[in-house]
Structure 1
Amino acid sequence: MNSATGSDDPRDYLVSQGFENYTDTDHATWRTLARRQREILKGRIADQFLEGLDRLGIGEEGIPDFRVMNQRLKNATGWEVVAVPGLIPDLAFFRLLAARKFPAGFWIRKPEQIDYIEEPDIFHDVFGHVPLIMQPIYADYLEAYGRAGLVAAEHGALKRLARLYWYTVEFGLAQTPEGLRIVGAGIASSPGETVFSLDSPSPNRVAFDLGRVMRTLYRIDDYQETYFVLDGIEAWPSLDLDRLLPLWRDLEAQEDIKPGDLQPEDRVLSRGDGSYHRAKPKSAA
């Protein structure tokens, strides 16, 4: 989820993608990232993600032109990708999602930053996030998330929505007939976490529960200590406000849960041994 200070009007942040300004080096960087990531994702990502890449024309040719991509996206789910200069304030972010507009950075990392960048770039935002927006159920979930975020801001529950976004949109997993699959963009755009999230013995993998997720702190500096697993590719949680408002009130009386801690009521799909994180400093939000 975005976080910055400034105007809450999303129109103040919309810019042109400036497709004509990308250099040969920029397109080469995209090709390197896309080629590598698509290979690593085989057998690990939800099939719907790969279908979305193909239908949108998000491939290894170079950075996608939003104007071309948006024609296909609008026809499928009524969404469009809009260029923004970087992280934007929460309310502006929520308003864009509620209007079926996905904000994406237009800049791409430098060749020397291939393996890690601190702030999400166009590869993370477009390659990681946009393919699943071709799926109507996921597209509806993102819109509902935006509307819920606007209400959460009025009820002091923004941290609950941030955690939900983190553990679903960014770092979610899902059960499929073929086994556990990635659905989160933060995993899908990271070669290291793609492998870690599914194959490492270190993290917990816990069945998704909305209240549990909204109580759980998350890692912002490293791979996750716990991944939450949806019951299926289309099992995105309902964000009905009649359900959320009393849930937020109930959660205020409960303590936050540390990223790697398990709870007695958890349905644990695989209990992590914590081996990766044990010697590392922790930073949770």
Structure 2
Amino acid sequence: MKQIYENYTAEDQQVWKILFDRQFPQLPQAATKEFLTGLEKINFTGEAIPNFEDTNKILKKLTGWEIYAVPGIVEDGLFFELMANKKFPATTWVRKMSQLDYLEEPDMFHDVFAHIPLLTNQAFVDFLQAISQFGHEWIEDEWAIHLLSRIYWYTIEFGLIREESGLRIYGAGILSSSGETKFSLSNEPNHFEYDVDHILDTPYRKDKMQENYFIIDSYEQLYESIPEIKEKIEKRLKEKASLA
């Protein structure tokens, strides 16, 4: 499918502006510098919903990635296949004014505002592509996908990074939520160093703020952990098979 830009209503544009203007002011003190730099590179503002065609021209030059329009949440096989081929699946619909504060299914603000800016960082997208290739390879194994989803959840969606200015956010699930942006950096949740085994042992819930967040020191650290992720998951798959 395609993003049909002229179909966006005045309310759609207003909702985007409200969400952008509400979230952006707290990001200079909360978001990873790479996210803020990425926002500038791809020209996202509160004045207009991003045009995928324009954004893709920039992304392809920077890292070879592009936004791939989808109607909503896609099944795991297609999800991993697309990202293994440098295509980030993003919905084109925007929540209604009555849904500003809560939404069960991710809309365009989450998919595009929160995810796309970091696709300008090469080490980050190399990590994203690699774990997506694993997902495509293991798609028939439910337990493997379950374990891999924990890696994705605690990095791409809810990851934190340590920078010179302090603890910062790179996870899109946090960056699209005003409440979780504040909560994740507070003293209330648990903060752990990035550790593959620990993440694989840590379940998560989608219906509440996270209790646990894992901290990386760099995006290169993420990418360099790829062999360990594959090794640790394959080890657990063998252990599970031996008990069957």
Give, in angstroms, the shift of residue 132 of structure 1.
0.5
**Structure 1 position 143 matched with structure 2 position 129:** yes
Counterpart of 1:222 in structure 2 is 208
Structure with the higher fraction of residues in helix conformation: 2
List runs of 5+ in structure 2 lacking aligned partners. Answer: none
Task: Give the Cα separation in 1 of the matches to 2:116 and 2:29.
Answer: 19
Q: Which shifted more, 221-230 or 152-161?
A: 152-161
Letter of the 1:99 counterpart: N
**Structure 1 position 132 matched with structure 2 position 118:** yes
Give, in angstroms, the shift of residue 253 of structure 1.
8.5
Counterpart of 1:190 in structure 2 is 177
**What is the Cα-based RMSD across aligned positions, in Å?**
1.8
**Structure 1 position 180 matched with structure 2 position 171:** no
Q: Which shifted more, 244-253 or 135-144?
A: 244-253
Task: Give the Cα separation in 2 of the matches to 1:234 and 1:43.
Answer: 22
Aligned positions, number: 239
Letter of the 1:248 counterpart: I
Question: Structure 1 249/135 Cα, relative in aligned 2: closer, same or farther at 3 Å?
Answer: closer
**Structure 1 position 105 matched with structure 2 position 83:** no
Give, in angstroms, the shift of residue 251 of structure 1.
3.3
The Cα offsets for residues 35-87 of structure 1, whole Å up to 9 and x where unpaired, read as 11111212110111011111101111111010011100111000000110001
Q: How does 1:41-120 map to 2 (within 5 A)?
A: 41-120=27-106
Counterpart of 1:16 in structure 2 is 2
Counterpart of 1:251 in structure 2 is 236
TM-score, reference length from structure 1:
0.80
Residue 215 of structure 1 contacts residue 251 of structure 1 at CA under 8 Å; is this kept in 2?
no
Residue 82 of structure 2 contacts residue 89 of structure 2 at CA under 8 Å; is this kept in 1?
yes
Counterpart of 1:11 in structure 2 is none
List runs of 5+ in structure 1 lacking aligned partners. Answer: 1-14, 256-285
Percent of aligned positions that are identical? 43
Task: Give the Cα separation in 2 of the matches to 1:198 and 1:109.
Answer: 26
Question: Structure 1 98/202 Cα, relative in aligned 2: closer, same or farther at 3 Å?
Answer: same
4+ residue segments displaced more than 6 Å: none
Task: Give the Cα separation in 2 of the matches to 1:60 and 1:225.
Answer: 31
Question: Structure 1 208/235 Cα, relative in aligned 2: closer, same or farther at 3 Å?
Answer: same
